[in-house]
Structure 1
C-alpha cells in the first residue's frame, strides 16, 4: 500500500462549476429558468454564463478579485453564481435590503472591483459610492436591466445628486451587452486547487466590524451535494426561489439545481398570493425559506390546501410546532434544518423516522421542530460545554454550544484573523455560538443564540421556548423575546409581538398575554413585559432583529422599579 499515493488523475480540484457543463449536455433542452415571460434552457444558460464570464475577464478582473452583485432573485443573479467564478473571481452577493452606509462599508472592506446592480437599486449604489473617501478605488458598475423582455433603455449613467467633491458614478455597460458581446468559446478559469476561494458572504449588518465569510470551491462542491442528498432531491425538480440567493448563496441550491437539471422559478420579491399562483401554474415541487416565509404563507388570505405535494425546507430560526402543523395541513411537506453561513449551509436536519408517522399530528410537529442530526457530509456535529469542551449529557435539558467540523466549514473571515481564531479553535471545531440540548435519541434542539439567552435570577432561560408558547396564542402573528434589565432578577423576559389581521375588537391586553403564558410556562420564564408592534423589525433575510429589540428593551429601564416582587418563581 505504501507505493500508492495521490496522482493528477485523482486530485483534480473539486468545484461546483462543473455542474453547469454537465447540465448543458444532459439537460440541454430542458427548462433551466422561468421568470415571468422569460424562459431559458440549460444549454442557453450555459452559453450565457460563458459569455458573461468572458466579458468579466475582458474588464481586467484577475483571479481572486471580488465581484459583487446587488440584485433580487432574477435570471442574472442566478447566472452570476456561475459566471463570476468562471472568470476566476470571487462572488460576493450583497443583501439587497441593507442601507447604503452598510453597502458602502462592505464594498470597501471586500475591495470589490466590479458590481452588478439591479435597475431598482441604482440610487442605493449611488449613495453607497458617494461615501467613498477621495482616493479610494471605485468599483466599476454594470447595470442589470431589461429583465423579462423589459426594454429599459434609459441612460445608464445616474443623474448626479452628489456634491462636486464626490466621486462620479456611472455604469460601464449593461448586463445584456455582456451576454451579447462575450465569447461563447471562452475557456473558463479553473481553480488552482479546491481550496481556492469561491464566494464571500457577509453575515453582519454592522458597519464597524463586517464578518466576511470565505468559502472555497471544494467546500461548496461538498455542501451542494450534501444539500441534494439530505433533501432527497430528485432529478429535474421545479424549484421556486422564495429564499434570497444573497442569503448564503441560497443554501447552495443555485449550483444544486444545475447538478440535477432542475427548473428555477425566479421571483423578484416575496408575495404570498403570487407564490400560491406560481406553485399551481408551474407544478412547483420544492422551495426554501426562514420561518417568516412559512408564517406569511400560513396566514395569507390566499392560503388553501395544495393540489399536489410541495417540499419545503425551513431553517434560520426554530419554527414553532403550531406553524409546522399549519403548513402540513396546507399540503407542504416540511423539512426542518439548522445551518450557518460559516458552515456552508445546513449542518443538521430533523431526519424523519418511519415510526413517527403513527404519532398524533401535534406530536409529529413537536418532533419536527427539533434540528435533528448531522447531515451526511458533515464529519461531526456536537453540543459541548464551552468551558471544558466535553459533550453535554443527552438528557434534553443540559445546554451547551453547537460545534461543527468537516470540509464544508469556511476558510475564515476576510481580514479578521482574530475573529477566525475565536471560532475556528485549535481543538479542530468550529464554535457556532448557538446554544442547544441533545435528546436521548441523539437529536439536537437549538435553544438560543448564546447572546440571546436570558439569565434571570441565575437561571438560563431559553427565549425560543417562550416564543413557542406565544405563537400558540390565536391572536399573535409574530413573537420575539429578549432580555430586559431588572434590578432584582438581573434580567427578565420581554416579549415583542405583532397581532394577526382581522381580529377586530378581540385584541388581547398585556395582562392577558402574560396570564396566557403563566398557564403554560414555569413562572420564571413568563414575560414580565409585553410590547405590541404593528410589525417586528427584520433583517434582509427575514430574521427578526433581536438586537434592535434588545436596545428597545434596554431603553425601557428596569422592569422591577414599578412592580411588586413575587415570593416564589415556581
Structure 2
C-alpha cells in the first residue's frame, strides 16, 4: 500500500487534503503534492540536505502541512515549535535540535525577530500572506535525491527545559513506507482513506501533527481548527460530516458546558471515532461524553517517545472506568523501585518492553533514567494493571502540571521566580481546575512577609511575562512564611500538592 499524499494526488488530485475550519480554505491533494515538492526544492536551493534539521514556528495553517510534507520528502528532520513560547524558549529548541533554518509566518514574524537576535546563526524563512510567494519559481517535481525524513518533537519533562525525542531517519527511504501509527489508526481506530478528520488542537503538538499527517497518508481529509471553540467544533462536525476526531479532556469539558439547546442543535451522527489522550480524563466527564456521542469515544495512552501504546474502547471503558486500556505496542511492565515486575493490582512505575527505541537528544542521563535494568522504558508514570492487562494510571510524571492538555514543567518557572529579588523560596504545583484540569499555582516565600499580597503577586506575574509563554504563567500566587523543606534542602512538594488537592477536593477552583 502506498501511504503518502503524492499517491493520492496522482489518483484523485481534486480530493480535499485540508479544510481550514475558520476560513473554509480547501487544499487539494494535487495542490499539497505540488507545494510540498516546491518546498523540498527550495530547501535544496538553500543548501539544506538529507539528514539536516529545520524547524517550523507556525500557527494552525495549511502552509504548515506544505512545510512538513516538503521536509518529509526531502529527507529532513522537522521540528514543530509553538509560537506561544517566549523567544528564549524557542531559541533553546532551535539550538538544541541543531536546526539550520526556521520557517515562520507573518503571525510569528515579530517573535522570530526576537529569536534572530538570540540565535543569529540560524537562518530564517519568514513569509507574509502565504507561503506561495516564497515557493514561486521552484519546480513542482520531486527533488532528485528524494527520501523519507521524520519529525523530531519535544517531549514533556519534569525538570528544566523540554528534550527532543530524536529518532533516526527511516531505514526504508521510500516516502510512502508505512509506520506503526498508520497501522494503529487503521486497525485500532478504523480510520481509512474515506476519513474526514477534525483536528481541534495546535498542530505543534505531537499528537495533532502526527495523526493529521497519518490521515493524509491514508488519503483522508483533515479539517483544521485555527483555534478551538466548543460550538464551532460541533458546527464543523455537522457541516463536513466529520467521521473521526481527536481531543483532550479540556475540549470535552468546554463542549459539555455549552447550554443544552446549543449542544442539541448540531448533528453528531457522522462521528465514528472520537479519540482522546494527552491528559487524564475525569471519569464523570468521559461518561458524559459517551452518553452524548455514543460508544465512539476511544482513548489511548502513549508519549512522544513512541515506546508503547495502549488503547481502550467505550465498551471496554464502561466495564473498567478509569482504565487507559491494554497495550497495542509494547508489553506493559509495572515495576517496583528496583526495576522488578510486580503482581497485578500492585502500584508501580509503568514501563514498556519491546516498544520503539528512543533517546532524548543531548541528554544521555535522561535517556538512561528512562530505562531500567531489563532494558524496558518508562515515561515516568505510576499505575497498575488488572488481571486482564488493563492499565490504570494513578500518578503522573513526578509533579508535572497538565493544563488543558499542555505539559508544563514546574522547575522552569521556579528557576525564574527564585531569582526575583523579593522571593526567598518558591514551589510551583498544579491545583485542580474545573476547566483546564490543573492550573499553575506558585507558592512563594517572600523575603519580607510584610510585602505578601496582591500587589506583589501582580509584580511577579508582570516580571515573568516576558520570559515565559502565557500558558506557563501562574494563574494563582499564594504566599507563605516558610515552605516545607528537609534539613538537606529537599522540598516536600508532594505535601503541598496533596494539600491543594485536599483543599479543592469536590470543589475545583475555576478561573
TM-score range, shorter chain: 0.7 to 0.9
Distance 1:317 1:556, change over 3 A: farther
Q: Tell me, yes or no, if the aligned pair for 1:78 and 1:254 is still in contact at 8 Å.
A: no
Shift of 1:445: 0.8
Distance 1:444 1:407, change over 3 A: closer
Spell out, residue by residue over 1:368-390, the C-alpha distance to the aligned partner (whole angstroms, 9 max, x if none). 53111112xx2323222241322
SS of equivalent to 1:56: helix
Q: Which residue matches 1:54?
A: 41
Q: Which residue of 183, 206, 216 maps to 2:139?
A: 183
Q: Which residue of 31, 38, 42 maps to 2:25?
A: 38
Q: Which residue of 181, 195, 215 maps to 1:257?
A: 215
Spell out, residue by residue over 1:61-116, the C-alpha distance to the aligned partner (whole angstroms, 9 max, x if none). 12222111111221111222211122222100012322222111111222321111
1:59-458 superposed matches below 5 A: 59-132=46-119, 137-143=121-127, 145-147=128-130, 175-187=131-143, 189-191=145-147, 198-204=150-156, 208-218=160-170, 221-248=179-206, 250=208, 252-301=210-259, 302-304=262-264, 306-310=267-271, 311-331=273-293, 333-343=296-306, 347-351=309-313, 365=318, 367-375=320-328, 378-390=329-341, 392-395=342-345, 398-406=346-354, 408-410=356-358, 412-425=359-372, 427-452=374-399
Distance 1:74 1:498, change over 3 A: same
Distance 1:499 1:201 in 2: 27
Distance 1:434 1:32 in 2: 36
Shift of 1:199: 1.6
Distance 1:80 1:366, change over 3 A: farther
Distance 1:337 1:190, change over 3 A: same
Distance 2:479 2:332 in 1: 34
Q: Which residue matches 2:422?
A: none
Q: Tell me, yes or no, if the aligned pair for 1:72 and 1:244 is still in contact at 8 Å.
A: yes
Spell out, residue by residue over 1:444-499, the C-alpha distance to the aligned partner (whole angstroms, 9 max, x if none). 1111124149xxxxxxxxx99xx9xxxxxxxxxxxx9x9xxxxxxxx9x9954357
Shift of 1:365: 4.4
Spell out, residue by residue over 1:160-186, the C-alpha distance to the aligned partner (whole angstroms, 9 max, x if none). xxxxxxxxxxxxxxx212433221122
Q: Tell me, yes or no, if the aligned pair for 1:313 and 1:336 is still in contact at 8 Å.
A: yes
Distance 1:373 1:445, change over 3 A: same
Which segment is superposed worse, 68-77 or 123-132? 123-132
Distance 1:552 1:336, change over 3 A: farther
Distance 2:435 2:325 in 1: 31
1:481-500 superposed matches below 5 A: 495-498=431-434
Distance 1:555 1:271, change over 3 A: farther
Distance 1:244 1:308 in 2: 25
Distance 1:209 1:81 in 2: 24
Q: Tell me, yes or no, if the aligned pair for 1:69 and 1:92 is still in contact at 8 Å.
A: yes
Distance 2:122 2:57 in 1: 16
Spell out, residue by residue over 1:5-41, the C-alpha distance to the aligned partner (whole angstroms, 9 max, x if none). xxxxxxxxxxx99522322234433211112232122
Shift of 1:336: 1.3
What is the total number of aligned residue pairs between the two structures?
421
Distance 1:58 1:29, change over 3 A: same
Distance 1:550 1:339 in 2: 30
Q: Tell me, yes or no, if the aligned pair for 1:204 and 1:211 is still in contact at 8 Å.
A: yes
Q: Tell me, yes or no, if the aligned pair for 2:8 and 2:219 is still in contact at 8 Å.
A: yes
The runs of 5 or more residues in structure 1 that have no matched partner are 1-15, 148-174, 357-363, 454-462, 468-479, 483-490, 501-541, 564-570
The runs of 5 or more residues in structure 2 that have no matched partner are 172-177, 411-426, 437-468, 485-494, 500-511
Distance 1:432 1:494, change over 3 A: closer
Question: TM-score by structure 1 length?
Answer: 0.66
Question: TM-score by structure 2 length?
Answer: 0.73
Distance 1:382 1:25, change over 3 A: farther
Shift of 1:295: 1.3
Q: Which residue matches 2:5?
A: 20
Distance 1:271 1:553, change over 3 A: farther
Distance 1:544 1:180, change over 3 A: closer
RMSD: 3.7
Distance 1:224 1:188, change over 3 A: farther
